[in-house]
Structure formats: structure tokens, C-alpha cells
Amino acid sequence: MVDTKTSQNNAKSSRWWEIGALILLLGVALFLRLWQLELVPPGLHYDEAIDLKIGLDVVGGARPIYVAEGWGREGLYYYLVAAVLRFVPFNPLALRVSAVLCGMGLLLVTYGLIRRWHGRIAAWLTVAWLSLAYWPLSASRFGVRHISLPLVWGTAVLAFWWAWRQKEGERPLRRTGRFALAGFLFGLTLYTYQPARFVPFIFAAFLAYLWLFHRPQLKSRIRELAVFLIIAFLVVLPLIVILSSGLAEETDQRAFTIEPLTRLLAGDPQPVLANLVATAKVFTISGDPLESYNVPDRPIFAPAWTGILFYVGLGLALWRWRRPIYAFVLLWLLFTLLPTVLTLSAPNFNRMVAAQVPIMFLAALPMAEAAQWLARRWRRVGIGLSLAAGLVVLGWTAVSTYHDYFFTWPAHPGTRAPLNRSITAVARYLYANPDDSPVVISSPHIEDSDPYILTVSLDDADRVVRWVDSGQALAVPTGAAFAHLIVTTERWIDGDLSKLLPGLSQPIYADDDFAEYAFTFPDILPVDQPLYFLPFGVNSPAEQEPVVLTPPYPARFCFCQPETVGQVNLDSLVVTGLKPGGSLTVITSWTVQQDGRPSSLAIFTHLLDETGEIVGQQDGLGYPPHTWRTGDRFIQVHHISMTDLVGNGRYWLQMGLYQRETGQRWQLVDEQANPLSDRLLTPLIIE
């Protein structure tokens, strides 16, 4: 009776120790995943911005299974993002909290799975590796959907092995229900991330293995396995229909990424063999080269000597391949590494993200077995030795991870461009400093990624924002005379513009990513010299004397064919620097007459001699049409070099607008919108 009671007390004490150790591990993992989450990663990757936008769409009522945006994306992750967006106010932070939740969920699922496979010591150690190693930490803080794959797949594996274990006297219906649940989760895995399409091969290979080496076990569960596969197929069927119906266009868009596979199928194995070698180095020699989420080439195990444990664990699993658990782990590792072996830029941590659990389990395996052996041989001394060795290995790993992830990687110059660091810093600043004043932003990618990133980050329809290249233009929104100008460190302000705009000499705020100025839009003198135009079909003033443009001004340009897609008025024209050998400066002021549409537009300025030959020119537009709103005003500066000018005399300044994609020019129109010409001229005397 005493022995039984003692045994019960020991079991209860052991259970509390197990729970306490797990809570401690999860607490450390949660700290590492939440610490400075808004600042590290130090910017928002474009893939994160796309995932955030789709999550916002779900908040707005969309219910995607699959979306074509971003080369095609499965929809499961975005429902979690949408839920978190309702509770976390700053959108990029909400996206990363979603990744943290997936990462923490993976730790819990992994603990349950490895404990079922190999006991609690192996489970503790596997979770410790997943908590402290750089790669799982990075994947749990990077907001893209790939982190959902190991979570859902790990949950499916846990459910499968829970169903696989047969209990005496258990009702067949209950066992079948467990297999049905596993099949549902297995099918759901395909809705996470493209590399999940390799997951079915794991089960196919495992069933083949069972048929060859454990046929009685397979036959005893054949009905339940049929239910498992049928349920999985029914769950994934809608995605199959979408991918096979032509609604998904990812194949053509992603063709370049699978070049190693296509070359292999064409009979050239060299790219795949090169990727195989690169992937084999990923554990201790050379890791992912991309700066987006990794210290370039940092391997999975750092310091490298800790990776010896993985190799020992891999050897043990290979030695024990006749046991179903180890065979499954090896197949899991093999097929989740294939997505990076068969695609470009191997090794790629994102594409092999589902390999995290088997890799960390194999690293934990020799530690767990050594700890058990030492505990049996020397009891408390053995337990102490095991604990000390574990603390050295995992503590060293944690220190290396913390230093590399929070200090080395954010400071790497290669992270600035792929993580859009400057515009992300602007988004954080605007979120923290709400203001009704209009904001004009000058950054490197004003026609594509930067407006997209800012829009999804703030999700503030009331914020008045315009985009310019301050190296050649400045603008103010309709009805405004005053605005804030934010210039990122990659941009500059044209010197002639800064002379026109008081306040640009000293920023009101500046840091390593951007500077903020306040300015008042200037009153530029109206055109006080004659303006001319050449009728259609006349190529130069040498062929025919230009026709005077009768006042009143402004001169209106319109892109009217085949439909009106933009109108803008030229309000002012100032030309300075009329001396040979210098630079002719042309400052024009414009008012938008119609909201613009996304297109690549330019203003051309040509300096013509008396024969009509172009002797100098500059094309450009620093205020792209996608940001135009009716009533907006902007200033454009052109600098035309005159170092090759032969002599003094009479010249013509010729200017107009054209679509860069087609070369088609906008039309100069009169007050009744009748087309007059496709260019405007003004005479110049250079002396």
C-alpha cells in the first residue's frame, strides 16, 4: 500500500516537473518571439505586405480559398491574420503576432508528438531546439504564411499517430473518427503554402514502406486508412479544382523558380545536383544566402559543433529505419527538403520550413538517449551531467541566436532593400504621430511597392498622402497650401526646388531612415512669355513657323484617346541658366484636372536649335499619375545640359507629355478640348 502511494506521489511530482519544464521552455520561446517584434525584422518584406493585404481583405468580407495575388497563395493563413487584426491595432505588428501564434502552436504540437514517439526528455529537448535556434525563431517572427505549414502539418502528424495506436477493446467507430480527424488536418495542410504539395508524398512513401516491411500492421488498419485518405481528398478537392481550372496562373509566373526541376526533366541533372550539395551544407556549413530573414549563409546549427548532434541523430534514425517512427521521420525530412532542392537559390529556409521538426528532433535524439543512459547508470550524478551538457549546448545556441538575430542581422546593409526599411520606418512614424496635415513622401519605389506597403500598414483611408520623387518634383494635395514632406535616406531634394520652398533647409525630424520637412507651396509667376505649338504633322519649327497659343492660359494637356485617362494644366513656366556651357533649368507648375491612373508617364523637355535639331534634353516626371487627384498642384524641374552647345542665339524649348510604355504623346487642347498639337514651344535667347 505504501509502495503504491509512493509511486502515485512520484508520478504526480514527475508530472508537475514535466509541466513546469514545459512552461519554462514556452516562456523563453515566447519572450524571444515577442521581444522587439515591431522593430525586428527591421522592415516589412513585400511578401509580408501582400499577406497583410489579403488578411485585410478577409476582414473586409472576402472569403478566399486561394488568391492569385503574389503568384498564387493558399488562403488558410489569412483567416488567422484577420482575427488578429481585430485585436492588434498596428497592422504589421498584427501580421507578425499571427506568425508568433503559429510558431508557439508548433511548439505545443511538437511536444505532444515527440512525447508520444520518444518520451518527455526527447520532447523537452526538441522543443528547446525549436525555441532557441535561429531558423525557427526567424520563421516565427516573419509575417509570411510559410509558418502555417509546419503547424498544420505537425498537427496532422500528431493526429495520425494518435489514431495509429490501437487500444484493446476500443470501439472501431472511435478509432475511425481519429483517422478521419487526421485526414481532415492532412487535407488542410495543402491550404497553407506551396511546398505543402510535397506532403502527400510523405504518406504515400510511408504506406509503401508499411506494405513492404510491416504488412500486418497496415492490413489491420486498412479501413481506417481508407477513411483517412478519402477525407483528406475531399478536403483538398476545392483547391485541386481551382488549380486545374485555369483560375490559378502561378505555373507561368513561377516557371523561373523551378528551373532546376524543369532542366532535370529535360535530362540535365546538374542544377539539382548543385542544389543537393548546397542543401547538404545547410546544417553546419552554409545556410540560406538571402538577407531577407537570415544572416547570409548562416547554417541551421550555430555554433557549428552543435550540429554534430543532428548528424548523430540522423545516423541513429538510419540505423533504426525498420521501426515505423524512424522511417516516418526520415521520409518527413527527405520530402520537406525537396522544395528547396528542386528550385532556385538553394538552400531556401522558407521552402524547407516544414523540415524544422524532424531536424530538431534528430538533434535532440542523441541528447535524450544519452541522458536516459546516464540516469540509469549513475542516477543523480548522471542526471546532473546530462543537465549540464544540455545547458552548455542549448545555452550556447541561445546566445548565438540572440546575438545574430537581434544585433548582427538587423545591422546588415543587405536588409535595407528587401525589407523596405525606410518606408516601413515612415509607416511606423505616421502611425505613432497621427496628424490631419497632408503628407508628401519621396522614396525609391513611389510607383509600386512603397505606396502598397504604406497603405496596408496604416489602413487609414482618411490620411492624405501623395508620392513624389523630390529629386525632380514636389506636390501638394488639392486645396492645400501646406504639407509635410518626408524624404527617405535613398532620396534627395533638388537644389532648385529647395530654393523655392522655405523650410526645406532644416528638417523638423530626422533619423537614419528619413527626414521630415514642412513646406508651403510657392506662388510661381505665371507664364509671361509667348507660348507656341506646332500643328499635327509638323515635326519642327524649321518646317513651319509655330502657331501662337492665344491667352488666357493655362495650357491644358490631355490623354484623350481612346478615352480620357488624364488631364493636367500647365500653370507656370520659368526658365533660368540661359548661358552656354552650363545647365538650363526649366521649372514648371501644374494643376491636375482629372484623377490619374497607374501608368508610367514622363514630361519631355527638348532644347531645339533654329534647324529644329535637338541639342539637349531631359525626360522625367516626379509626380506619377497613380497618386494624382483632381485639384492637386505640383512643380517639376528639368535640367538640360548645354556643355555641347555650339554658340549663342535663338533656340526653342519644346515640351510635352508621353506614355513611357507606348511612346504615345498627350495632346495639347483648347478650352473646348479640341486637339491642337502634341507639344508646346517657347522661344529662348541664349547669350
The helix/strand/coil state of 122 is helix
453-487 pLDDT tens trace? 999 999 887 889 999 999 999 999 999 989 999 99
pLDDT value at residue 254: 63
pLDDT value at residue 131: 97
Between 276 and 388, the higher pLDDT residue: 276
Q: What is the mean pLDDT of residues 215-235?
A: 95
pLDDT value at residue 243: 87
Set of cell numbers at residue 46: 513585400
Q: What is the mean pLDDT of residues 245-250?
A: 63
Set of cell numbers at residue 379: 542516477
The mean pLDDT value of the chain amounts to 91
Are the beta carbons of 239 and 191 closer than 8 angstroms? yes
Domain boundaries, given as residue ranges, for the chain: 29-415, 421-444+462-520, 532-686
Burial of 542 (0-12, 13-18, 19+ CB in 10 A): middle
The helix/strand/coil state of 386 is helix
- Cβ-proximal residues to 438 (8 Å cutoff; 6+ apart), any chain: 464, 465, 466, 476, 477, 480, 482, 483, 484
Instruction: Judge whether residue 2 has pLDDT over 50.
Output: no
Are the beta carbons of 111 and 22 closer than 8 angstroms? yes
Rounded distance between C-alpha atoms, residue 155 and residue 431, angstroms: 37
Which of 12-16, 53-57, 573-577 is the most confident on average? Answer: 53-57
- Phi first, then psi, for residue 637 (nearest 5°) are -115, 135
Q: Which residue in 121, 109, 125 sits closest to 160, CA to CA? A: 109
- Phi first, then psi, for residue 168 (nearest 5°) are -65, 135
Residue 499: how many CB atoms within 10 A of its CB? 11
Residue 410's pLDDT band, with cuts at 50, 70 and 90, is very high
pLDDT value at residue 1: 45
Are the beta carbons of 469 and 442 closer than 8 angstroms? yes
Q: What is the mean pLDDT of residues 273-287?
A: 96
Residue 525's pLDDT band, with cuts at 50, 70 and 90, is confident
Residue 385's pLDDT band, with cuts at 50, 70 and 90, is confident
Set of cell numbers at residue 57: 481583405
Rounded distance between C-alpha atoms, residue 71 and residue 625, angstroms: 26
Is the Cα dihedral 659, 664, 666, 668 positive or negative? positive
Rounded distance between C-alpha atoms, residue 386 and residue 379, angstroms: 10
pLDDT value at residue 6: 52
387-400 pLDDT tens trace? 888 899 999 999 99
Between 335 and 671, the higher pLDDT residue: 335
94-150 pLDDT tens trace? 999 999 999 999 999 999 999 999 999 999 999 999 999 999 999 999 999 999 999
**Which CATH number describes the domain made up of 532-686?**
2.60.40.10
- Considering only 55-69, 197-211, 328-342, 490-504, which range has the smallest mean pLDDT? 490-504
Are the beta carbons of 101 and 152 closer than 8 angstroms? no
Whether a cis peptide bond, with omega within 30° of 0, leads into 552 is: yes
605-639 pLDDT tens trace? 999 988 889 989 999 999 999 999 999 999 999 99
Q: What is the mean pLDDT of residues 67-79?
A: 92
Instruction: Judge whether residue 365 has pLDDT over 80.
Output: yes
pLDDT value at residue 566: 81
Rounded distance between C-alpha atoms, residue 133 and residue 400, angstroms: 9
Set of cell numbers at residue 477: 494635395
Rounded distance between C-alpha atoms, residue 132 and residue 395, angstroms: 8
Q: What is the mean pLDDT of residues 670-680?
A: 88
Set of cell numbers at residue 390: 544540455
546-582 pLDDT tens trace? 998 876 567 899 987 666 678 899 998 999 888 887 8
Instruction: Judge whether residue 25 has pLDDT over 50.
Output: yes
